Chains A and B, each alone.
Chain A
Amino acid sequence: MFQVISGRSIQVARLLAPRSAVLVEAVRGRKSRTDPVAKSKEGRIKVPPPVDPVEMVVLKERYTEYQLMMRALRLEFKEEVLRKKYEEETGSLAEERARQEAEEHRALMAFNNQENLRMLKLRILRIQKEKEEAERKQVEAAIQREQEQQESIKEKERDILKLQEEAKNFITLENLDQRIEEALDNPKNYNFAIDKEGRVVKQTMLQ
């Protein structure tokens, strides 16, 4: 808030001959340039605290020493951290570690490749088996179909033969009279009786 000035300044303050050689002017921290000076501070001359030259010399010495030591310590610690980091990334140990890791990685990749090859072999076997199965099934299906075809042909032949057999007993225009005569001569009795035990009786009276 206070600034040391050497040129033009408040004339009153200069006249009153301040205790020290330097004059201090107020820098308005809170108030703006239009605000008036406070009533209690009207004639006030601000001066910085007095400095004892002997004390100042001693203090300066001690301070330089102290700051030197502190700076040295700080830089020392910073350097330690940086060195650690450097060694971590590009030191001899790090190289060793990197090499070891690369080797391990290679070993693991080889192991993985082995696994893959094994799976490949298994897969090839499996696919082969499946193909064979499919072929076998196909062949079997073909045979089955052949057989069924043969069966159906035989059925049909049998039917034809049966029909031919039955054709001998058909009633045709020539047999018509004969068959009518026969039918009238031999009356057939289709009635029958059955009792609770299941015995069939066919000797019923024809009417």
Chain B
Amino acid sequence: MPMKGRFPIRRTLEYLQKGDIIFKNRVKIMTVNYNTHGELSDGARKFVFFNIPQIQYKNQWLQIMMFKNMTPSPFLKFYLDDGEQVLVDVEGKDHKQISQHVKKILGKSEEVLQAEARAKMQASNPANFGPKKYCLRECICEVEGQVPCPGSTPLPKEMTGKYRAQMAASHE
């Protein structure tokens, strides 16, 4: 039994990573009110079924709550961190329209995302040497094909500073 549920593609990493709604840092809570029956709630139902996993994957710290059959018409409500509440009416809309609308009003724009990606790349440059927590390597001796660490195998005499100093002294 490898596949679970009606549309197991929703559980694949590829599908989740394809989600393109990344909310601004100010959005803290998302609430979806929809009905389980009815033509008008269909778009909201599909949105919850298909798009919410993608959103939660991309916004791990966003709290998402779903309420069923509480109001006659479906809507989304976003709670920002300065107390502002944003109401989005989704009655009769298609789930694609809903996700586009939400992305437009509260999602990070393309340029912001690209700027962030660039900043992250700069911070995590593979050419940096440093503690294992932040960089890939600590010393050039860890790389294949370079001089091995003198701590494990002693360097040949000609490469030691002691010998070189001796030679320099004896030559003068």
Taking Cβ atoms with an 8 Å cutoff, the residues of A that contact B are 108-109, 111-112, 115-116, 119-120, 122-123
Contacts and interface: CB of A to CB of B under 8 A. Distances in A.
B21 to A, nearest CB: 14
A44 to B, nearest CB: 28
A108 B73 contact: no
Given A112-B86, A115-B88, A115-B89, 18 more contacts: A108-B104, A108-B105, A108-B106, A109-B86, A109-B105, A111-B105, A112-B88, A112-B101, A112-B105, A116-B87, A116-B88, A116-B89, A119-B89, A119-B91, A119-B92, A122-B92, A123-B73, A123-B89
Nearest to A113: B87
A115 B73 contact: no
A192 B86 CA distance: 91
Interface string B77-105: 00000000011110110000000010011
Contacts of A120: 89
A153 to B, nearest CB: 42
B84 to A, nearest CB: 8
Main secondary structure of the interface of B (DSSP, over half): mixed
A123 B93 CA distance: 12
Contacts of B101: 112, 115
Interface string B51-83: 000000000000000000000010000000000
26 contacts: A108-B104, A108-B105, A108-B106, A109-B86, A109-B105, A111-B104, A111-B105, A112-B86, A112-B87, A112-B88, A112-B101, A112-B105, A115-B88, A115-B89, A115-B101, A116-B87, A116-B88, A116-B89, A119-B89, A119-B91, A119-B92, A120-B89, A122-B92, A123-B73, A123-B89, A123-B91
Contacts of B92: 119, 122
Rank and list the top 8 A-B pairs by shortest CB-CB distance, nearest first: A119-B89, A108-B105, A116-B89, A112-B105, A119-B91, A123-B91, A112-B88, A112-B86
Nearest to B112: A101
A111 B88 CA distance: 11
Contacts of B87: 112, 116
A112 B84 CA distance: 14
**Considering residues B88, B89, B92, B106, which has the most beta carbons from chain A within 10 angstroms of its beta carbon?**
B89
A149 to B, nearest CB: 36
Nearest to B26: A105
Contacts of A122: 92
A108 B106 CA distance: 8
Contacts of B105: 108-109, 111-112
Contacts of B106: 108
B81 to A, nearest CB: 13
Contacts of A112: 86-88, 101, 105
Contacts of B91: 119, 123
Contacts of B73: 123
B90 to A, nearest CB: 8
Nearest to B102: A112
